[in-house]
Structure 1
């Protein structure tokens, strides 16, 4: 049902359903599909292919057209843009008391593999074309003057029916002819955020995309820290969020799986203690390992045990100092500080036992120099079928599952090809992005039998050669925590 019936108080039921896509036959090489674009009304896309280097092709894909406009969404007392039916009906009355006509919209968030569907209600006022946003702004101002909390919404972002448009970049890497390798990069340090362009340039990569989520809820100086597993050159630099999707890179192979990490400190006297984290802020009674890649000082208010490359304690110190090259630091506060003072004496050895376990195979990964890991955010496709693990990966909200955002996507095919894609969004009339269901359908369409969502939103970036080829929603490239790089060797 068209959302053009929003005005006039009509109740609208809108739902997004999973579309069953045909399984892609195994091919000798990765190929761009000839079928219609899988989103919206399945338009025929326009595409331009550029051969990047041997075994790597870049596709610039555009599809759909702009027919969406603007409405004013009335926020609920919770601050969300949706609520229960009684709460929404109360807001409808408040809008009408302010002299405007409200529409009550029923929205069904689709079920995913690990979370049931959810029915909610939204309150909308008015409907204006793309060029008439000023009129939506004026209505929003009037409602705010009546003490209502509102926002102007572009309907293409809703996650419901749309005609687009979409602006997509896809890199396909053929394992038969590609002669390079894959790597992860945290840039100059774990703590610092950098652009994908900067990391591509530093490593001489031919392709780079932004990696997983980074911690925006810590101090500003530490916001490059990945939220999830990070392995660079065989070194574990950030612990797992247990069970979260990740991509394991080794040489020119890529595997999507779920991981957990287990890090233990073992004193010379045989005492063992769990290491709670790696290269991140500490909380009370935690033991955290800091490596020389951290790029910041250890936290104040605890004890540091400085270890050399062989695990020998070269000194105990008051915390709050830098990590010298060639050393690691075990930092503890509270009971963790007590453990260090009792079991990490100077000249003693404290072994750090590190395990990264593949939860699909139940086997530990060998932390060799050619191993790299980039954490994903949400699983999308597993064994050739759409399987969205939003709850497992901590993103089962209406905003994350249903609404459209810019996306950075990664998939692998049956024959080992790697697919990297960006779907730009949050640019009304230009490109609408995708929700999780659409992202999964899109990756199946491209031929992925396994696929994950990396970080997205303003972080979405793809660099090919030395050029940023997508259009970030912030208007410029954002500094991010890590990147996945395609190297020429």
Structure 2
């Protein structure tokens, strides 16, 4: 097995193993991620280098004048890559083992599980897991994992898992090349590079007939004149999540300080962090709108405008709640608004209150909007949204420097993240974007941020060319995927001056109008339906 090594290059915030894989130099500060111990495997063997980037691609073809699609095959399968059983740890030191759910935890908890496994006749390994340095978080230990067995075939690991579960433990199978620390692991990298000095088209975002609902990228390609596309934003409860400004209209939740891309005129892309505030005014009275086009009270990824529980900080893929919210719905929602207790004001295009409903759930009038409210916010709405009066909605979007972003028809903002490259340097805002989880349980950070996964990215290189990139993953021996730090380094090696992460995992997909899906989506069912996408239109 190749050395599983992690650089402590805090200034760069990258995985050194990836630098080797992409042609960089290895740091003398490399340390083993899976630390050898008395119960584990022996000392790491020498690392093997993988092909450089940029360089000769497996294939390159012109999709349109000024648009090139290249596929790179990096790394190689190593005979030492094995299937193993990862045994879950309880969330508390004395918690039950059979229903344990966390992938890693404190050393004392890992030792307790390992001792119980030995008593049951297994031979466990206790391994340390470390996270790389990010722009806003130093490198350090995430926790400890417990694993059993080492198998060349997945079926043998599945059989071992059945025995582990029968013994009173919980867990799953893992392929070691997907631990996110293997420099030479196989990777399939697909790059659409767009030279706008030769390509006369535009980069746009799109969704289906309505925001409420999901569609496949190939369906949206087939229904348009677009020549190529890639997946876009995260989505929850059947709708995109996060700040979304399309052609100057703010149609996605108000939020604060997370990464995003600003597309100007369809031909200029800038990576930054963005904050949005929406204010509802009734004469001299004003109230902050918590979100746009999402169910009130449910705040996916947290980090809203206040009142989120259990935290007001960004926490990716965490479902926060807020018992008192105002949420605005626009015609783009395209479906009846969420029903339930509370209040809802129906407004025409001028903001005149057409109706004030005592419960939630109605149609959004053409050209108008509705405002739903829960808790104390419902009391405010009942007091101020008197039928016949006029309410005004003020919207303000700011970039990371506090400058106001003009919401003109040629402006689109899509908030995803985290950032990967800023001003030509690797810069991952992992903590600010919530991809490092708060608290003792770092399972999410380990699985989503550190471990290898399919990834989709967007960037601009030093020559001003747009880059849309997909890396396949979760396909043992073919393409393992990348950790977030590795993906950032990949974008840097591809020449990115600015780059940002898009939705990934099973959502990662790239397609062209002439050839269909370019990559191999990781879901067993194939291409996933998405909340929105990025399209290249002629």
* TM range, smaller chain: 0.7 to 0.9
Any conservation in 2 of the 1:73–1:81 contact (CA below 8 Å)?
yes
1:373 counterpart residue number: 413
Partner of residue 28, structure 1: none
Q: Per-residue deviation at 1:2?
A: 4.8
**Which of 33, 42, 45 is residue 50 of structure 2 equivalent to?**
42
Q: CA offset at residue 458 of structure 1?
A: 0.3
State the alpha-carbon separation in 1 of the partners of residues 520 and 342 from structure 2.
44
1:356, CA displacement in angstroms? 1.2
1:434 corresponds to 2:482: yes
Deviations 1:242-266, CA, capped at 9 Å, x for gaps: 1111011122111111101111111
Report if the CA contact (8 A) 2:255-2:277 is conserved.
no
Matched, 1:234 2:258: no
1:224·1:482 contact (CA, 8 Å) conserved in 2? no
1:324 counterpart (343, 356, 365): 365
Q: How far apart are residue 19 of structure 1 and its match?
A: 9.9
Tell me if the contact between 1:14 and 1:106 (Cα under 8 Å) persists in the aligned partners: no
Q: Does 1:452 align with 2:443?
A: no
TM-score, reference length from structure 2: 0.80
How much has 1:421 moved relative to structure 2?
0.2
1:175 aligned counterpart, secondary structure = coil
Say which of 174, 179, 183 aligns to 2:204. 183
Question: In the alignment, which residue of structure 2 is the partner of 1:279?
Answer: 293
Q: 2:430 aligns with which of 377, 380, 390?
A: 390
Which residue does the alignment assign to 1:69?
A: 82
| 2:270 counterpart of 1:255 | yes
2:470 alignment partner in structure 1? 422
Q: Which residue of 1 aligns with 2:151?
A: 128
1:265 to 231, 256, 280: 280
The structure-2 alpha-carbon separation of the partners of 1:465 and 1:38, relative to structure 1 and needing over 3 Å to count, comes to farther
- Tell me the distance in 2 between the aligned counterparts of 1:229 and 1:86: 41
Q: 2:223 aligns with which of 183, 202, 218?
A: 202
Q: Tell me, which stretches of 5 or more residues in structure 1 are unaligned?
A: 4-12, 22-34, 216-222
**Matched residue, 1:156:** 177
Confirm or deny: 8 A CA contact 1:184 1:231 kept in the other structure.
Answer: no
Question: For residues 224 and 166 of structure 1, what CA distance do their matches in structure 2 show?
Answer: 31
Q: How far apart are the structure 1 equivalents of 2:159 and 2:379?
A: 61
After superposition, give the CA deviation of every residue in 1:372-411 in whole Å (9 maximum; x if it has no partner): 1211221111111111111111111122221000000111
1:170 aligns with 2:191: yes
Q: Is the 8 A contact 2:21 2:75 kept in 1?
A: no
Alpha-carbon spacing, 1:18–1:418, altered in 2? closer, same or farther (3 Å) = farther
Within a 5 Å distance, the mapping from 1:92-103 to structure 2 comes to 92-103=114-125
SS in 1 for 2:223: helix
Which residue does the alignment assign to 1:109? 131
In structure 1, what is the Cα distance between the partners aligned to 2:336 and 2:9? Answer: 48
**Corresponding residue of 2:38:** none
**Secondary structure, in 3 states, of the residue corresponding to 2:413?**
strand
Question: After superposition, what is the alpha-carbon deviation per residue over 1:257-283, rounded to whole angstroms, capped at 9, x for unaligned?
Answer: 11011111112x322111111011112
Cα distance in 1 between the residues matched to 2:373 and 2:199: 46
Q: Give the direction of change, closer, same or farther, for the CA distance of 1:97–1:465 in structure 2 (3 Å limit).
A: same
Name which of 61, 65, 74 aligns with 1:54: 65
How far does residue 224 in structure 1 lie from its aligned partner after superposition?
3.0
Task: Work out whether 1:404 is the aligned partner of 2:418.
Answer: no
Structure 1 residues 418 and 2 mapped into 2: Cα distance closer, same or farther (>3 Å)?
closer
> Which string of whole-angstrom CA distances, capped at 9 and with x for unpartnered residues, describes residues 295-339 of structure 1?
232232222221111212222234311213222111223332222
1:288 aligns with one of 327, 338, 343: 327
Task: Name the count of aligned residue pairs.
Answer: 455
171-180 vs 340-349, which deviates more? 340-349
User: Who is 1:30 aligned against?
Assistant: none
Query: Could you report, residue by residue, the CA deviation over 1:53-111 in whole angstroms, capped at 9, with x for unpaired residues?
Result: 12111112212211222111121112222222222222221221121222222222212
TM-score by length of 1: 0.88
Question: 2:533 is matched with which residue: 479, 483, 488?
Answer: 483
* Residues 233 and 371, structure 1, Cα contact 8 Å, conserved in 2: yes
2:343 matches 1:303: yes
Aligned-residue offset at 1:435: 0.4
| Equivalent pair of 1:182/1:250 in contact (CA under 8 Å) | no
The offset of 1:14, in angstroms, is: 5.0
**Which residue of structure 1 aligns with residue 302 of structure 2?**
none
